[in-house]
Amino acid sequence: MSINLQTPIDYLKGVGPNRADLLRKELGIHTYQDLINLFPNRYLDRTQYYKINQLQRNAAEIQVIGKITKFEEVAQKRGKRLVATFKDETGTMELVWFRGQKWIRESLKLNTPYVIFGKTNWFNGKFNMPHPEIELLTEHQANLRSAMQAIYPSTEKLSNKGISNRVMTKIMQNLFLETKGKFAETLSEKLLSENKLISKSEALFNIHFPKDQEALSKAQFRLKFEELFYIQLQLILKNLIHKTKIKGFPFEKVGEHFNQFFKHHLPFELTNAQKRVIKEIRHDLGSNAQMNRLLQGDVGSGKTIVALMSILIALDNGFQACLMAPTEILSVQHYNRLIELCNNLNISIKLLTGSSKASERKEIHEQLENGELNLLIGTHALLEDKVKFKNLGLAIIDEQHRFGVKQRAKLWKKNTFPPHVLVMTATPIPRTLAMSVYGDLDISIIDELPPGRKAIKTVHRYDSNRLKVFRFIRDEIAKGRQVYIVYPLIQESAQMDYKDLMDGYESLSREFPMPNYQISIVHGKMKPADKEFEMQRFVKGETNIMVATTVIEVGVNVPNASVMVIESAERFGLAQLHQLRGRVGRGAEQSYCILMTSHKLSENSKTRIETMVRTNDGFEIAEVDLKLRGPGDIMGTQQSGILNLRIADIIKDNHILQHARYWAKQILDKDPSLGHPENAIILDTYRQMSKYKNIWNYIS
C-alpha cells in the first residue's frame, strides 16, 4: 500500500508536535508531500578526495585523507588554540580548534588514517582547516551514506531550536523508509520515453540522496520538466476553456467607420507588423470566443492606431468600447490623440478621470447607459460602480501590469457577456515571462517602427565630460530642437533627489541663461495644475529645455524634442532607461539619448549602460533586465514574487520551459480533454494538483 502523502508531518518518525509546529511556521511544511518537495539548496560533494598538494585558495568545502602526526597548543590574545599537523603522501597542512581542545586531544589518535572535511584557509604560507568534521577512514568506508550531502533550506529559528541540516537529513531518510521510496508516477509513458526522463521515485531519491553529479542532474531535469509542464498545461487549458466556454460577441462585419478611416484618414501607411496584428485581432473578434489578447510593442511602434482600428470594428457592430490607462497624463494623451484621429468620423468620445467635474460625470453616465457615447477613455475611474455601459463590446487596457487582477475583473462585470479584451504594453515582456505569466493570453507583437523614424543614438558620458554635453545641447537648440534633462527619483531619499534636481536646475540656468533660453521644471512636489502648465509650455515649444524627475516616463509626446539627457543613469533600472529614451525619436529628425554617470559603477550598472548603448530593441533589453533582476521585480509591485517555483527557475531553465510548453501543447492539441487512456496519469495528476494547490499559487 502506498502511504498517503497528505498525512500531516506530525506523524513522521523523528518529528513530533514541537518540530512539526516549527516546520509548519518556518518552512510551510504541513504534509509528507510538502517535505518530499523541500528540495536541497546545494550539495556538498563527498565523492572527491583531494591531495594536500592539490588544494586551491578558494572557500570550497573539501575532504582529504591523511594522518595527524603531532598536536601543539599555541597561545593567542585570549586563551590558546590547538593545532594539529596533518600529513598525506604529498604534503602537510594544519587542523585548528579554538574550543573543545581537551576532548579533541583525548579522542583523536596520532598516526592513524582519518578523513577530514571542511573549508580550507591559507595562513602563514600553508593551508589550514578550522574545526574539521573528522572520522576514522575505516568508519568512513563502512558508513552507508549518500556520497553527495544535501544542504536544505533553513532559518535562524530552526538552527536555534536544534533542527540542523543533519536532523533534516535524518527526517528525510525516515520519510523514504516509511514510503519505501515508492511514489506515484505523474507523467505518461510517452513523456518519459520521448524525453528520456527517469521515474518519479528515482528522481525524488536522487534529488535528496544523489550518489554522484550525473544522478543529481537527471533528477533535477526530470523534476524541473514536470513542474514547468503542469504550469504550462494549466495555462494552455485555461486558454482553451476560455475559448470554448466564455462566449464573446461575434463582430461579424467590418463596416463604415473602419473602412472610411482606413481609406481616407490613416495618417501614415501601416507597417507590416501593424497589418499582421490587426488581422489577428479581427480574427479573434469575428470568432464566437471572447478575445483575450496581449499587444506588445515598443515605445512609438504605433499601438494606438491598432487600438483605434479595433475600436472601430466594435462600433461598426453596434457596440461601445472603452480604453483604460494607469495615469491621468496617459489618459489625456490617448484622448487627445484619438479625438485628432477621429476628427472626420461621426463618433462620440469622452474622457473620465479622477478630476472630471460632477456635471461632466453625470452626462457621461447618462450617455453611456442610453448608448449615445461610443468610446470612453479614462483611468481607474472607469471601474466605479456608477459607470454602466449599454453594451460594452471591447475593453482596451494600456500598461496592464499597473492594474491588479481584481480591478480588471470589475470591467468584465459591467456586461452580461464579458467584452473582448485587448491588453497593451510598451514594456516588452521577455518571451520567458510571457510564456509563464501570460500563458493564458494570446500574444501579438508589433516589432517594427513606422517608416521615417530614425533609430535613436545612445551614448554614455561621464560627469567629467559635462561641458562637451552642454555644447552639444546648445547646437541642437540652435537647430530649433528641444531637450529633456531627467533626474532620478528614489523615494527613500526624496530630500536628496529634490536637492540634486534643484542644483542641476541652477547650474543649467547659468549655462543656458534667459532670455536666450527658456527652461521648464517639473517634479513630484508641484501642484498638478503647475505641472500641467509647465508641460504645456514645453509641448507648445515655448521652452527649450525640460528639467524633470521621472514623471515624464509615461506619455509625453513632443516630436520636436530630440535630446534626452539622463542624469545619474546608473540609478535607473533598464526598463526605465528604455522608457525614458522612448520620449525622443518621435519626429523625423535624428534623436540622441545621453547617459550621464559618475566613474564609480557597479557590475550591474555597467551591464545596464552597455546594453542601452548597444541596442534599441526593447525585447533584448527586457531579457537582460530579467537576468539582472529576476522575474519578481520585472512585473511591478502588484505582481512581485511572480513565480513561486519549487525547483525550476524560469530564467536559468528557459530551455526546459520551452520544451515543457511544446509538450503540453502537443498533448492538448490531440486530446483537449485529456480523455485518452495514454493521458490518464496526466489527467489524474492535474486533478490532484488542482485539489491541493492551484496554478495561482505560482502566479500572483
Q: ∠ at Cα 26 (24, 30), nearest 5°? A: 20
Cα–Cα distance for residue pair 679/91, rounded to 1 Å? 60
Cα three-residue angle 134-138-142, rounded to 5 degrees:
100
Q: What is the DSSP letter of 694?
A: -
d(CA 117, CA 79): 25
What does the alpha-carbon distance between residue 696 and residue 700 come to, in Å, rounded to a whole number? 6
Angle of helix 603-614 relative to helix 574-581, nearest 10 degrees, comes to 30
Fold category of 47-144 in CATH: OB fold (Dihydrolipoamide Acetyltransferase, E2P) (2.40.50)
Place of cell 531553465: 653
CATH class of 256-446: alpha beta
d(CA 571, CA 574): 10
Helix (H) or strand (E) holding 360: helix 358-369
Other beta carbons less than 10 A from residue 243's beta carbon: 18
C-alpha 672: how far from its chain's center?
30
Coil, strand or helix: which one is 575?
helix
Q: Report which of 47, 59, 58, 67 is spatially closest to residue 116, judged by C-alpha positions.
A: 67
Residues of the chain with CATH 2.40.50.140: 47-144
Contact in structure between 307 and 424 (CB atoms under 8 Å): yes
Residue reference for cell 476560455: 242
Judging by beta carbons within 10 Å of its beta carbon (0-12, 13-18, 19+), is residue 210 exposed, middle or buried?
Answer: buried
User: Residue 271 is placed in which grid cell?
Assistant: 507597417
* Matching CATH number, 457-615, of 3.40.50.720, 3.40.50.300, 3.40.50.12170, 3.90.180.10: 3.40.50.300
Triad 214, 217, 223: Cα angle to 5°: 140
**Whole-angstrom Cα distance, residue 528 to residue 526?**
6
In the chain, CATH 3.40.50.300 sits at: 256-446, 457-615
CA distance 252 to 240: 22
Collapsing DSSP to helix, strand or coil, 625 comes out as helix
Residue corresponding to grid cell 500572483: 700
Task: Catalogue the long-range contacts made by 656-659 (C-beta closer than 8 Å, 24 or more residues apart).
Answer: 656/221, 656/224, 656/225, 656/228, 657/228, 657/232, 657/432, 657/435, 657/436, 658/435, 659/195, 659/225
| Under 8 Å between Cβ of 62 and 50 | yes
Cell (9 digits) for 158: 530552526
Mean pLDDT in runs of 10 for the chain (700 residues)? 77 91 92 92 83 81 93 88 95 92 91 93 89 89 70 89 89 92 94 96 94 88 94 86 78 90 88 94 88 83 91 94 87 90 91 90 93 93 88 86 60 74 81 67 81 86 93 95 84 59 86 92 80 86 87 65 92 86 84 93 91 88 79 41 68 83 94 94 90 48
Helix segments in 149-188, DSSP class H? 156-160, 165-179
Answer yes or no: are the C-beta atoms of 388 and 259 closer than 8 Å: no
What pLDDT shows up at residue 272?
Answer: 93
Residues 351/328, Cβ–Cβ less than 8 Å: no
What value, to the nearest 5°, has the Cα angle with vertex 210 and ends 207 and 216? Answer: 60
User: What single letter denotes the amino acid at residue 550?
Assistant: T
515 prior amide bond cis, ω within 30: yes
Task: For residue 432, give the C-alpha cell.
Answer: 520567458
Q: Within the chain, what is the greatest distance between any pair of CA atoms?
A: 99
* Per-residue model confidence (pLDDT) at position 588: 78
Dig out the grid coordinates for 326 from the structure.
Answer: 494607469
d(CA 257, CA 313): 8
DSSP state of 8: B
**β-pair type (592-597, 561-566):** parallel
**Collapsed DSSP state (helix, strand, coil) of residue 446:** strand
Written as nine digits, the cell of 550 is 521621472
